[in-house]
Amino acid sequence: MQVLILAGGKGTRLWPLSRKYYPKPFIKLHQLGGKSLFQKTVERALAITDSENTWIVVADRHDTIVRNQLEEMGVEVPEDHILIEPTQRDTLPAVLYALFRMPEDVVTLMPSDQYVKEVERLAEAVKLAEKYADRHIVAIGVKPTEPYTGYGYIKPGRKIDENVYEVDEFKEKPDIETAKTYVKKKYLWNTFIHVFSRNLMLKEIEKYAPEVYLTFKKYNCDAERIYPIIEPISLSSQVLEKSKKNAVIPVALTWSDMGSYDLMHKLSDKDENGNVANTNFISLDAHGNFVETYNGKTVAMIGVDDLFVIDTPDALIIGPHSRSQDVKTIFKMLEQRKHPVTDYHTRIEMRWGHVQIVESTEDYTIAKIFLRPGARAKIQIEYPATVSVVKGSVAVASGKDRKILETGNAVSTSNEIIELENLERDPAEIVMTVIANLKTNPYVEILKELEG
């Protein structure tokens, strides 16, 4: 069996933890033991198949994060199984891109932004679905625990076999009264986890989305040529909701798309007052709160209930759980103002390590660079800058010149490309101070320099 992981999405309802360049699937969560939803998805994939049969479709701007997180897990996915989208075009092109490159086999499609507690139970459902995958696109439907309005629903139909049903209808996210009706009628939450044969799905896409199918065939699945000329298109609305081949297997799972702070609170371990915090937390007459801070500060709450408090180095949001869905609106308001906090965290992942922006103003930027053991980083210096080694031994090369900087040494540079190389077996730490009148986005400017 092949497993296809779609590693993308914005996760705007989880801002400021989630950003465009570091979205929801990749956030490290204390609820998951410090792992990301993407990493937990990979673990679920490995409960079904091995890494040699795992495929990942990811946008170009998230490629580095995917590779770094796979490396952290010690998981080696074949290089040609990591498929890079030049830009995101929704789910149908992502799935088609992978299917054209896969061997003929049964495929399990998995989003990378979901939480599943009972991994073995899901794997058993997938194995059952495999038996029907040559004739059906088999959805994994979760039995609802409440009338939740944030999920789509599946209406099961005629029984095909033991615990396998035809799909009568896919339902969009309902209002609360409709959701209550769905639960009473035993509708299922739609997980967007599907099991199907490669050939069957290709035939259904060709039937219901012929233009995009033929475009992929015409350009021989060349993403660089295809993606600029196609529109975003959803697999669900364009193919699955029209197909007559759908089936569903109901499963009792602790499942969530972890798409809002009220959901994260529900799925987290709580203290005696129903509070959740990832830091040193103290409360007085405070109940049902969700606190996430990234700098280890002590948080105290007095006389407040059912709030989420999300504190990052450059953004803070506070609101009631009942308004968790409105975080998306705040994100859009910031996006309209072209504020960089919608795009980047102050920590930026690179293949050679990461950079932490310590302070950034219109006049200067201070960044701390962490180089992995033996790693090399090319940096294009466009403005006057000072590079200081604060830990380790680093070679700094410019043209034919090469200097060894030990801890406490520094070098000044401007208008050139330099290469930094960590000469030791431990991570090296470097502080770079750039003096410039950055009228544009300082995050983008520092990225330009680091990417060389």
CA–CA gap between residue 28 and residue 34 (Å, rounded) = 5
Average pLDDT over residues 185-210: 98
Confidence of residue 447 (pLDDT cuts 50, 70, 90): low
47 has pLDDT over 60: yes
pLDDT tier at 101, thresholds 50, 70, 90: very high
Q: Quote the longest CA-to-CA distance of the chain.
A: 74
Res. 294 pLDDT band, cuts 50 70 90:
confident
Q: pLDDT tens for residues 81-93? A: 999 999 999 999 9
pLDDT of 53 > 90? The answer is: yes
- C-alpha to C-alpha distance for 133 and 172, rounded to whole angstroms: 24
Q: Residue 360's pLDDT is what?
A: 81
Domains and their CATH numbers in the chain: 2-256 (3.90.550.10), 261-332 (no CATH), 347-451 (2.60.120.10)
pLDDT bin (cut points 50, 70, 90) of residue 439 is low
Q: What is the mean pLDDT of the chain?
A: 94
Contact 70, 42 (CB under 8 A): yes
Query: Is residue 376 classed exposed, middle or buried when 0-12, 13-18 and 19+ CB atoms within 10 A define those classes?
Result: middle
Percent of the chain whose pLDDT exceeds 70? 96
Q: How many CB atoms lie within 10 A of CB 66?
A: 26
Residue ranges with strand state E in 271-362: 276-277, 281-284, 290-293, 299-302, 307-312, 315-320, 347-350, 353-360
Per-residue pLDDT tens digits for 264-282:
999 999 999 999 999 999 9
* Rounded Cα gap, residues 246 and 242, in angstroms: 9
Contact status, residue 141 vs residue 37, Cβ threshold 8 Å:
no
Distance of alpha carbon 19 from alpha carbon 294, whole angstroms: 15
| 172-190 per-position pLDDT tens digit | 999 999 999 999 999 999 9
Identity of the highest mean pLDDT range in 65-74, 334-343, 356-365: 65-74
Residue 436 pLDDT greater than 90, yes or no: no
Reply yes or no on whether the pLDDT at 437 is more than 70: no
For the segment 435-452, the average pLDDT, to the nearest whole number, is: 60
Q: Is the pLDDT of residue 382 over 90?
A: no
Per-residue pLDDT tens digits for 217-244: 999 999 999 999 999 999 999 999 999 9
User: 193 pLDDT exceeds 90?
Assistant: yes
Cα separation, 349 vs 21, whole angstroms: 10
